[in-house]
């Protein structure tokens, strides 16, 4: 990887290291607690590499910056309800894209016809993501599908248990029913291979059963 790539990763990590929120998850069987967005961005990068070993700078940088400093724009900035949520999510993505663009420009991307900044911003904004995933035959970007798969896998890896505890089994199954169709075949296979505790695994099985019945 180039020096500017390494500089960009360092700058993104520094921006995320200020996250006042933390996440606890298992690493090789040992629980660790780290700044939430810093941990999520690192795990995103690792999943992108796993799902697409040929991932380029733009894919890896977008993974690292997918929720860049998200805590600085809390959900409470917009009204409650779905309309408020969608407005908040759209604005959050715009903010992530703008901030990562500034970081990448500062380390030397975006000159002499280099389109890395635009590609990173498109991935962060999830441009090209459609219902049921992405496929070449649909003229959509496989890179965005890898990005979405990685995001879903990080959610399952780090937030499954706390969210399930908060929502209860039935609502968590509803979340999974909405999440699984966003994933492509590789992402779904990786999700099924996760080392989940028996109860979480049973919720995934219930969600898959419901999806099968609805298809």
Are 153 and 113 in the same domain? no
Put simply, whether the predicted model's pTM sits higher than 0.85 gets the answer yes
pLDDT of residue 75: 92
- Whether 64 contacts 41, CB under 8 Å: yes
Residues 29 and 120 in one domain: yes
Q: Are residues 181 and 104 in the same domain?
A: no
Within the chain, strands assigned E span 22-27, 30-35
Q: Diameter of the chain by CA atoms?
A: 53
Last residue of a domain, one of 125, 155, 185: 125
Domain that residue 159 falls in: 140-215
Q: Are residues 153 and 114 in the same domain?
A: no
Is 133 part of a structural domain of the chain? no
- Identify whether residues 148 and 104 lie together within a single domain: no
pLDDT tens column, 96-153:
999 999 999 999 999 988 999 999 999 998 776 554 444 443 444 788 899 999 999 9
Is 134 a domain residue? no
- Asked if the structure places residue 42 within a domain, the reply is yes
pLDDT tens digits for 17-70?
Answer: 999 999 998 887 788 999 999 999 999 999 999 999 999 999 999 999 999 999
> For residue 90, which of 63, 127, 65 has the smallest C-alpha distance?
127
Same domain, 117 and 62: yes
């Amino acid at each position: 990887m180039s020096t500017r790539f390494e500089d960009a990763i360092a700058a993104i990590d520094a921006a995320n290291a200020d996250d006042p929120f933390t996440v606890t998850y298992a690493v090789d069987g040992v629980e660790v607690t780290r700044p939430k967005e810093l941990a999520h961005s690192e795990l995103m990068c690792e999943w992108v590499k796993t799902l697409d070993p040929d991932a380029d700078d733009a894919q890896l940088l977008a993974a690292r910056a997918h929720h860049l400093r998200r805590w600085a724009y809390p959900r409470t900035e917009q009204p409650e309800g779905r309309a408020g949520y969608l407005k908040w999510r759209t604005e959050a993505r715009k903010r992530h894209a703008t901030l990562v663009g500034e970081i990448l420009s500062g380390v030397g991307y975006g000159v002499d016809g280099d389109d890395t900044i635009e590609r990173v911003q498109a991935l962060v904004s999830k441009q090209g993501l459609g219902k049921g995933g992405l496929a070449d035959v649909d003229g959509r970007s496989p890179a965005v599908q890898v990005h979405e798969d990685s995001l879903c896998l990080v959610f399952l890896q780090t937030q499954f248990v706390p969210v399930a505890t908060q929502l209860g089994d039935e609502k968590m199954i509803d979340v999974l029913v909405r999440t699984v169709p966003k994933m492509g075949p590789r992402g779904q296979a990786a999700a099924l291979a996760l080392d989940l505790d028996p109860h979480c695994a049973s919720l995934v099985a219930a969600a898959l059963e419901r999806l099968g019945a609805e298809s």
